[in-house]
Amino acid sequence: MKYFSVPSDFKKETIDKYDAFNEKFIGNRIIETYGQLSHSDLGSGRAGDHIPIVSKKNMAKYIDYSLKKKIKFNYTLNSTCLSNQEFSNRGALHLLKFIEELYEMGIDTMTVALPSLMELVKTSKYPIKIKASTVCHITNADKALSYKKLGVDRIVVDESANRDFGALKSIRNTFGDKVELIVNVICYKNCIYRMFHHNQMSHDISSNEKSVTYYSHRCMMKRCEKPSNLLRMNFIRPEDLQHYVGIGIRYFKLQGRQAVQNGDIVESVKRYILEDYKGNLLDLLNCFSQTNAFNVYLDNKKLKDFLLPFVKKIGFCTNDCNTCKYCEDFIKQCVDIDDTKRIHEAAQIFYENFDQYTANIKKLSKEIGDKSG
């Protein structure tokens, strides 16, 4: 049995489609959708202006309808920073009241990143299960065990470990069967901005303000640095789920709260349920949501054997990309190299020239220089 956690668009008709999937595709089950209120003073792993707009009233109606179809709703309160609210009596009380509201809506599972918030939830009077967020950076069995001792019911492994089958096996053996992997990963594996990006998004709470683009632009620029970096995003192809099921991992998550409004999350879920997809893998990873104008065609079927060395040889990836040429050689059979380089160069120029942060600091530096002169 494979279990799926998918981002919510807060539409009843989407729940109907998932319910139909659960009836039709034996051996697969969509167990939950996840998301959060668009207007809240408590942040999450997504900026406020990148998620579907939903009020408490409408979210409650959605949850009620979903539960009737036996699909739960997981509230994402996976901010990496709450500005120390949880450590003050006033802040802790505010959080407890919010948790009470969620529980009364029918929510009995939350995705959380902060250990302090996990303890607060577990010591409350509500029997809420906790899923440790991917932003907890769980990459080994020792970390997994620590979260298990905190009372966490399920963990989402850091995407950087998706191809480390030695680590995944030990995490599964240590934590138990409720180990979850994000499949449609679009982040560069060893991105230096990752944890800081999560923290920035945690502070981009209000959907009334445009989120900061500093990290998202640099993430894109890193992916476009060279064609082989496309393979250094730790995605899991639908066809490769079998390798993870083979080591006892049965829970899979599709990320994409930012894509459900303009993409096709239902089709993405279906492709992973069927474990088959013919087309541009980057479209699937982005949930068929057009994210920018710099589109490379990465043929999914030509990636058929890409994962095999990672599966067969523990420690195959040493994270020394400058020395290892595996991805650099493999990408040549999956994309048009010249076309990819052209597209990537255009992307680099665009993001360098239109980066808000760079433009602002250049302007400020000039103003200081003019005043000094």
Among the ranges given (170-179, 278-287, 363-372), the one the predictor scored with the smallest mean pLDDT: 363-372
pLDDT tens, residue by residue, 142-169: 999 999 999 999 999 999 999 999 999 9
Alpha helices in the chain (DSSP H): 12-24, 56-68, 89-105, 115-123, 141-149, 165-175, 194-203, 214-223, 241-245, 265-274, 281-285, 308-312, 326-330, 337-353, 356-372
pLDDT tier at 87, thresholds 50, 70, 90 = very high
- Which pLDDT score is estimated for 372? 64
Q: In this model, does residue 329 exceed pLDDT 90? A: yes
Is residue 373 included in any domain, yes or no? no
Q: Helix or strand or coil: residue 130?
A: strand
The helix-helix angle for 165-175 and 141-149 (nearest 10°) equals 20
Whole-number percent of the chain with pLDDT over 90: 71
Q: What is the CATH number of the domain that holds 182?
A: 3.20.20.70
Lowest mean per-residue pLDDT among 168-177, 243-252, 285-294, 315-324: 285-294
For residues 167-174, give the mean pLDDT.
98
Query: Residue 207 above 70 pLDDT?
Result: no
Contact between 104 and 96 under an 8 Å Cβ cutoff? The reply is no
111 sits in which H/E element: strand 109-112
For 277-315, give the DSSP string: --SBHHHHHTTT----S-----BGGGGTTTTHHHHHSTT
- Number of folded domains in the chain? 1
Mean pLDDT of 37-43: 75
Helix axes 12-24, 56-68, angle to 10 degrees: 20
Is residue 206 over pLDDT 60? no
Has residue 281 got a pLDDT over 60? yes
For residue 39, the model assigns a pLDDT of 74
Residue 10 has pLDDT above 70, yes or no: yes
What's the rounded mean pLDDT across residues 46-66? Answer: 84
Average pLDDT over every residue of 103-111? 96
SS3 of residue 156 by DSSP: strand
Position 271 scores a pLDDT of: 98
The pLDDT of 110-118, averaged and rounded, is 97
Q: What DSSP designation does 210 have?
A: P
Instruction: Return the closest-CA partner of residue 82 out of 64, 59, 98, 68.
Output: 98
For the chain, what is the mean pLDDT? 91
The per-residue pLDDT for 282 is 95
pLDDT at 284 over 90: yes
Residue 263, pLDDT score:
84
Domain that residue 356 falls in? 2-368
What's the average model confidence in pLDDT over 197-202?
84
pLDDT of residue 46: 63
